[in-house]
Structure 1
Amino acid sequence: MKVVLFCQYPYAFGILEPIMKVLKQRNCDYLWFLTENLKESFPFKDEPHTFDLEKLVSYESDAIFCPGNEVPHYVRGVKTQIFHGLAGEKKGHFKIRHYFDLYLTQGPFFTRRFNRMKRRHRNFEVVETGWPKLDIYGKKHDKYNSDKATLLEKHKASKMILYAPTFSPSLTSASFLLKELEKLAQEKDYLILIKFHDKMAAELIQQFRKLAADNKNIIFEEEPNIVKFLLMADLLISDTSSVVYEFLLLDKPVVTFKNNSENILWSDIKDASQLQQAVEKNLQQDPYREERKEIISSYHPYSDGKSAERMVDAVEQYIAEHGVPERRRLPFLRRRKMNRMFRRKL
């Protein structure tokens, strides 16, 4: 089986890496395709990869794993949506764009919704597999324990707090919580890590870099894969971001600012001034311990670290039953959008 690992943003690396490892174990042929903006940040430069769309087309793949929302309709292969997050309440998560043959879902909450849409559209399949980015939760849960201990000792702190907001201008908490995080950093017992989304506004990035430079208990993290910081942190501060669910699945407390979920099963504040009190309460009492069990069972009940394996199995099964599509049929306007987005030479 020839497979494309399709990347448009740095967050895709951590999602696709476990799939690459499975493909290696099974002696499958694979190729990373990357858009031009990823030339400097691609971490697997010794792996087969290309930035050339024509090479992607001529590769004639059997399957394409895509964590983003778009994939060129004219590239051969089973176009497989594997998602870039777990925030089902975010606009667009359940939008059917008709680019994909196969949706591989993270847990029952997502599977039910996509199966309902499958019955309506009847042009894709749905298989529940779990999410490969979280395979490390089942295999190397304690991988960064020594890194955490070293950082806490260096900063003379006992608790590590991760601040990871969404980039969406209408949803991000970054501009609201800047001063409150500075106040929180005065609590010498806390070490605060700042991890921004790849698409965060440049102005906010600059402001928070300065915040970290001015406060010895705040670190602005540049590493692209957030999983390391999720595993290390004792508590997450966020907003309406899918990282909330990734952290809850580790069975650790979360504080959000104005989250827009219809079913909030963690601590959510509506006023920025409540942040410090909420952090202290959740670290000391963990009042939503029982509610997290509902999130885990519904959003991602897989703790065996084998979601990437299930994804490769699902694609192989799809090919066995349906064959390999040469291209995806799309309306004219969507075809034109793909041609413009990926600058196809016609």
Structure 2
Amino acid sequence: MRYLLYADQNYAFQILRPLQSEILARGGEAAWLLAGNSVSARHIRDGEILLDGAARAVEWKPDAVLVPGNMAPAFLPGIKVGVFHGFNVAKSTRGQARGHFNIRDCFDLYCTQGPNTTEPFRRLAAERGHFEVVETGWATLDPLFSGSPPARPDDRPRIMLCSTFTKSLSCAPRLLDTVRRLSRTGRWHWTVQFHPKMDRRICEAYRALQGDHLEYVDTDDIIPYLRRADAMVCDTSSVMYMFMAQNRPVVTFRNNSAGERAHLLDVRDPSALESAVETALTRPAGLMRNIDAWLAKTHPYRDGRSAARVIDAVEAFRAVPPALRPKPFNLLRNLKERAKLGYWWP
């Protein structure tokens, strides 16, 4: 089978590469299509196939298109497969009609991450009737559970700081002075990594803190950094759930998630951060039980085989296509996708 890897953000590379590895291991073909101005071809690696534009992708005739986002161009051949760009953060300022469960009528198949994603999507599938849902786990996390963890240069606890770019929710500007002070003590080693859309001024302020006790990383593959950290400091960004999938604690600053937060250590004031990190590093029994319960609902797969389940689901869909209704014809969305790719006919 031929699989088109559709990327419109740089973080798509780390999401799709475990799937690419699985495709190639099975003797299939995989090629990349980069869409828009927010993704860079400099992240393409030696040996990977990059198609030169949408017209070439149409000519290539993929059997399936794997998309880590909410939109998929209807004109591309093949089964459109939603593989998600993150976990459902469920921000309290958002209704479920937005974000994770926003159906834009683009996909034939959703490969969901765990029960609390699968169940809502299956209800939506029953209502809409034009897509299938298979629970596979999130292939992006497969490298968290395979191979040896990266080497650590010393025995100090390692703290990872991540933050959303949304100004009203971002912990990065509010914790800058605190992180500066804590990093200077040398008690812990800090790794700082932000979303590509983070305010450049904030990025430069943290980059200026680099030294023996803090590193600032700009990467298209965050997984190695997640693996070597002992605890994370975050806000309401879905990357905290990627980290927590390792059964490790997260300290959040003014977390804005809706619903239960017992699996998080949340602080409201920068002065409380140091104590909360100290607590997280002890891995208190009650907190770890809550993390286990959250993982059972959100991402119970720790076998590093989610990519295999995704490809199994796609192959089964293609072998015996389910009886689905036609997808609605969304003229405006389709025009936007064509404009992004500079492709107008056919």
Shared fold per TM-score greater than 0.5: yes
Following superposition, the deviation at residue 328 of structure 1 comes to 5.9
Aligned to 2:94: none
Q: Does 1:110 align with 2:117?
A: yes
Q: Secondary structure at the match of 1:6?
A: strand
| SS, match of residue 288 in structure 1 | helix
Question: In the TM superposition, what is the alpha-carbon distance from 1:249 to its structure 2 partner?
Answer: 1.3
Partner Cα distance (2:140, 2:29) in 1: 21
Query: What residue number does 1:15 align with?
Result: 15
Q: Distance in 2 between matches of 1:47 and 1:236?
A: 32
Cα distance in 2 between the residues matched to 1:68 and 1:243: 15
Structure 2: which amino acid aligns with 1:313? D
Matched, 1:76 2:77: yes
C-alpha change, 1:160 and 1:333, in structure 2 (3 Å) is same
Please say if residues 7 and 68 of structure 2, whose CA atoms lie closer than 8 Å, have aligned partners that are also in contact.
yes
Q: Give deviations 1:125-145, integer Å, cap 9, x for gaps.
A: 1000011111123322x331x
Query: Structure 1 pair 243/81, CA: closer, same or farther in 2 (3 Å)?
Result: same
* Distance in 2 of aligned mates of 1:180 and 1:257: 12
Q: Secondary structure at the match of 1:50?
A: coil
Residues 66, 79 of structure 1: 8 Å contact kept: yes
Contact between 1:238 and 1:255, CA under 8 Å: does it hold in 2? yes
Cα pair 2:35 2:340 within 8 Å, conserved: no
Deviation at 1:41, TM superposition (A): 3.0
Tell me if 1:31 matches 2:31: yes
* Count of matched residue pairs: 334
Alignment partners' CA distance in 2, 1:137 and 1:220: 21
**Contact 1:258-1:268 at 8 Å conserved across structures:** yes
Q: Per the alignment, in what secondary structure is the counterpart of residue 179 of structure 2?
A: helix
Post-superposition offset of 1:216 = 3.4
Taking a change above 3 Å as real, the CA distance of residues 51 and 172 of structure 1, as seen in their structure-2 partners, is farther
AA matched with 1:73 = A
Which AA in structure 2 matches 1:172? S
- Partner amino acid for 1:22? E
Counterparts in 2 of 1:116-195, with a 5 A limit? 116-140=123-147, 142-144=148-150, 146=151, 148=152, 150=153, 152=154, 158-195=156-193
Letter in 2 for 1:8: D
CA distance in 2, matches of 1:5, 1:88: 25
Q: What stretches of structure 2 of length at least 5 have no aligned partner?
A: 92-97
Deviation of the 1:223 alpha carbon: 2.4
Partner of 1:206, secondary structure, is helix
**Counterparts of residues 1-346 of structure 1 (less than 5 Å):** 1-35=1-35, 37=37, 38-90=39-91, 91-140=98-147, 142-144=148-150, 146=151, 148=152, 150=153, 152=154, 158-212=156-210, 215-261=211-257, 262-264=259-261, 265-284=263-282, 286=284, 288-322=287-321, 329-346=328-345
Quote the Cα distance in structure 1 between the aligned partners of 2:89 and 2:121.
Answer: 11
**Offset, 1:9:** 1.3
Secondary structure of 1:49's counterpart equals coil
How far off is 1:40 after superposition?
4.4
SS of the aligned residue for 2:195 comes to: coil
Moved more, 126-135 or 9-18: 9-18
Structure 1 unpaired stretches of 5+: none
Q: State the TM-score, normalizing by the size of structure 1.
A: 0.91
Alpha-carbon distance in structure 1 between the residues aligned to 2:89 and 2:178: 28
- Mark the CA change 1:77 to 1:6 in structure 2 (over 3 Å): closer, same or farther: same
